[in-house]
Amino acid sequence: MSLSGRYLIMVLTRLFVVGFFICTVSTVFSQVGENRYLVYFADKEGTPYSINQPEAYLSQRAILRRINQNIPITVEDLPVNPENIDQVRDLGDLEVIYSLKWFNAILIETEDPDVIDLILDLDDVIGTQISPFIQDDQTIEAPTDEFISSPKNNYNYGPSFNQIDMINGIPLHEAGYSGEGVWIGVFDGGFSFVQEDASLQNLMSSDRVLGTKNFVDGNDDVYQRSTHGSYVLSTMAGYLEDSLIGTAPDASYLLCITEDVLVERRIEEANWAAAAEYADSVGVDLINTSLGYTLFDEEDENHSYEELDGNSTLITRASNIAASKGILIVTSAGNSGNSPWYYISAPADGDHVLAVGAVKPDETIASFSSRGPRVDGAIKPNIVVQGQSVVLSDLFEGIRTANGTSFAAPIAAGMSASLWQAVPQATAQELFNAIEQSASLYLNPNDSLGYGIPDFQFAFSLLQDLTNTRNLSSVDSQLNIYPNPLNDGEMLNMVLPKDFGAQIVLELYDITGKLVMNRQVAAYDGRARIQSMPLLNNGLYLVSIRGKNG
């Protein structure tokens, strides 16, 4: 949200033609799995997609997330040029598994080494990558302008009380903030028995599973392969009175399999990137990933500690890009504290990734929790929450406890969703900062606990102060603009707060953030209009209206 004024969305309908040249960097051709390769393209020149028509490849909710956080649509958001994909597909015995638009790449599978030589001979090719990205015609309902405020909750937490009370999340729940209206993507190795788990029946019966994608097998079936994701989900979405209350029991969830539990290969990082692009496109607000990568089955794929610099590994770069789209990325720090590796794993090293370590119920460090610092000395993990003796749900054993930063991360992620419901005007980065600043060691962080144990009620106060400073609420309730969409020749009408004054400044920006119109307009009794709009390309525009009081 801009500090200079409240932005409204305006859609203009007009025939649109554009031509442009795009150039990307990266020149790598790599094998990232058994007979699977990531093919990188030099640019997106000639693409049929446009940054001025993002509705062709992003949902309305994804576009609104960018607008609300003042994030422009860029070339990075454009899908891979279909002509480039077809050029590769036509070369012979290969299968295109999925595309990675943020890296301008496709994942292919082939057993014919001659095909690789043919691909490298193409003028537009500079590299390769992995794992099936599947985008179907499924539509997801557009969001309301703000997250929903729930009635007050008086949960009986049972044995799960401590893991929420430790981070001072109970007051948010009591105030009615339990994640309602917030969309969380959960990336894991499988979600077996979620449909039968008693603690997740409230989630399933209320149709708050937004969608499912299996990027390992290339289908939509995620209720298989592993129960790890089911345990992770129960710490957020679980609802079983007197037994288990998750940190975001009323949030909505997008479930994705990215981890192949049978092997450990770098292709899983590409699966994660594909899932993040998918989650971004449908409009999630937050991604939890209880996964981490350091060493692989094939020694030549191993990461080194030196690679954990915040922006080197594929999964870390994808996490940082996802964060740049306004998504809060929460990930487990890793469970290597007792192993020779010792340090955090990727993507926990990411500059914009909230890496979560683990403490015991008595708030002392869990020995298995991976340590920092990052290779450049940056503080990691960012925060710690309970990760030892975590209460979760198991279909076969019932409510039980388990250990791992895999469960610390979703506790933090779910409470972050409840916090975001409470302060929907906050950006993802502001949320990230407030959580860090609320933590117990913020002024004196260390390599084991990072900034310490967060206090989500304190983070709420920090965000309230920040958003109150903007004084947006008085504008939201009174500002309107119509008609929307606006056609050629139509008059633009504005209804304004009456204390805006007799003169306003109206600025019109295209979706890239370029200023296309700046006018002073007279206002009469809270109303203003522009009779002659400039000829504009079809697409989404941002309108900034400023008066003497806001």
SS3 annotation, 322-341 = HHHCCCEEEEECCCCCCCCC
In order along the chain (550 residues), what is the average pLDDT of each group of 10 residues? 32 27 33 76 94 91 89 94 95 92 94 88 69 30 43 85 98 97 98 97 97 96 97 98 97 98 94 98 98 94 96 97 98 97 98 98 98 97 98 96 98 98 95 97 97 97 79 52 77 76 84 85 75 79 80
Cα gap 18→46, rounded to integer Å: 10
How is residue 550 annotated by DSSP?
Answer: -
Name 383's bridge partners.
356
pLDDT of residue 485: 79
SS (H, E, C) 2-52: CCCCCEEEEEEECCCCCCCCCCCCCCCCEEEECCEEEEEECCCCCCCCCCC
Q: What is the pTM of this model?
A: 0.80
Contacts of 364 (CB under 8 A, 6+ apart): none
Cβ partners under 8 Å of residue 442, min gap 6: 436, 451, 452
Query: Nearest to residue 427, comparing CAs of 470, 384, 395, 458?
Result: 470
Residues 235 and 213: their CA atoms lie apart, in Å, by 21
Which residues are within 8 A (CB) of 328 and not within 5 positions of it... i.e. 6 or more apart?
285, 286, 287, 354, 413, 416, 420, 428, 431, 432
So what's the pLDDT on residue 497?
74
390 CB contacts (<8 Å, ≥6 apart)? 163, 235, 401, 402, 403, 404, 407, 408, 411
**3-state SS class at 101:** helix
